[in-house]
Amino acid sequence: MSKSEIGLLGLGTMGAALALNIADKGFDIAVFNRTTQVTRDFAKDAGDLAQRITPTENLKDFVAAIATPRTIILMVPAGDPVDQQIAALRPLLDDDDLIIDAGNANFHDTNRRAAEADGKPFLGIGVSGGEDGARHGPSIMGGGPREAWDRVAHILTAIAAQHDGTACATWMGQAGAGHFVKAVHNGIEYADMQMIAEVYGVMRDGIGLDHTQISDVFATWNNGPLASYLIEISHKVAAASDSLTGAPLLSVIRDAAGQKGTGRWTAIEAQHLAAPVPAIEAAVAARNISARTELRAQGQDLFGAAPVSLNGALEIDQLEQALIAGKILCYAQGFDMITRASDDFGWALPLPDIARVWRAGCIIRSVMLDDMATALTENPDENLMFSKRFAGDLGENHMALRQVVAQAALHGLPMPALSSGLAYFDAMRTARGTADMIQGQRDYFGRHGFTRLDRDGTDFHGPWAD
């Protein structure tokens, strides 16, 4: 019996979908799951693809079913389960066998695992697109030795999403580079979702549109500059009805957003890198606030409900323009963070390729990413908001963002992500801001003197006059 070209361990939702995708693209695959019945059911339900799938019921048989040098994809929960599976597999593997962690790992863990591999091939790859992406074509961000990526690239590019004939899968850099890029992707995803939710709130509570009307607005926007997966599904979610009550689905969904922590990792790492990502930080905070349902109810009882009607103060077109500006600013922050990480970690992260990989398959795919890839190709060292294309878009749309944020504030409509994006925009176009006061305060209570620019533009350190 011929052996499989690749193996996959972990047949949860994502693992099962990815295994079927691999088999569907013509590769023989061995599979294993800790719960034997899960493996049996997976193979039984694989239909015509079952002929390419070798189910196994213990690790030894799993390893033996894969052709050497072996390649094994781990699709298990992030954290300790990954370390446990690596520890269980290593004694059964040859030194040139490749382990790939394709879960939602923290890139620091991937860095550690790469070091612990002690020269044995190890990749950490970010996989975005959810279950549907895993089954039909995800966006794949690889990290680890380039030679290890090249060894398995023919499979990963075959199963990835395609955009204009180009696979949305590429190598990002050494060690945890792939998982880092995936984390920033998820941070941008948090912010994009939050900004959409904020304009949804304005339409619902400020303008008084019903869910069908809101759905129609999103459908219209999805034919313009905001065309993206998230706008597309927002249209569908707003139009959906609850199967039990017949009421609009959004009216019965619990008003508390869940999170798996990847957006939080991005916000935390941004602080370590001194990379400003206020839209992402605001989105993480908004999810945390949403979970405080009892405290929010207490606030409403004490102060009254916040949202009040806008009474015609805003038009739908202004919301679209505000969202365009907010999206550009959010992505500019994300790519700036990637640039800072590239410098700090010595990764030489390929910004244009990252934009291209995100054009299909992943959650944040949008038509804007084509222009972002072009802008980053022309000048990868330039902040996206300063590029010719996006500077023009911001010039056309930032006044609408300003009006939307202002009217939302006046009418009690919370808008943390869009307002933080506006503050970022204004701070980034102000050559002399107000940090002199902060530094003056620090110098005063430190009593160590003050730092100012001398006449020739160099730093000069002098004493306090008092």
Cα→Cα distances 217→224, 269, 273, 317, 365, Å:
11, 36, 38, 10, 19
d(CA 432, CA 64): 65
Q: Catalytic positions, please? A: 182, 189
Residue-wise burial string across 132-157, b where 16 or more C-beta atoms lie within 10 A, e elsewhere = ebbbebbbbbbbbbeebbebbbebbb
d(CA 375, CA 384): 7
Contact call for residues 144 and 122 (beta carbons, < 8 A): yes
Cα→Cα distances 91→95, 97, 293, Å:
10, 11, 49
Tokens representing 2 are: 């011929």
Nearest C-alpha neighbor of 196 from the set 131, 248, 250: 250
Q: What is the CA radius of gyration of the chain?
A: 25
d(CA 38, CA 294): 39
Contact call for residues 70 and 92 (beta carbons, < 8 A): no
Q: List Cβ neighbours of 3 (8 Å cut-off, separation of 6 or more).
A: 28, 30, 65, 66, 67
Contact call for residues 228 and 367 (beta carbons, < 8 A): yes
Tokens representing 433 are: 């801001």
Tokens representing 209 are: 């549109």
d(CA 138, CA 141): 10
Cis peptide before 69 (omega within 30 of 0): yes
Is residue 420 within a helix (H) or strand (E), and if so which, with residue range?
A: helix 416-428
User: Is residue 244 packed enough to be buried (19+ CB in 10 Å), middle (13-18) or exposed (0-12)?
Assistant: exposed
d(CA 143, CA 80): 20
**Is the Cα dihedral 113, 259, 237, 317 positive or negative?**
negative
DSSP string, 340-401: HHHHHHT----HHHHHHHTTSSSTT-BTHHHHHHHHHHH-TTS-GGGSHHHHHHHHHHHHHH
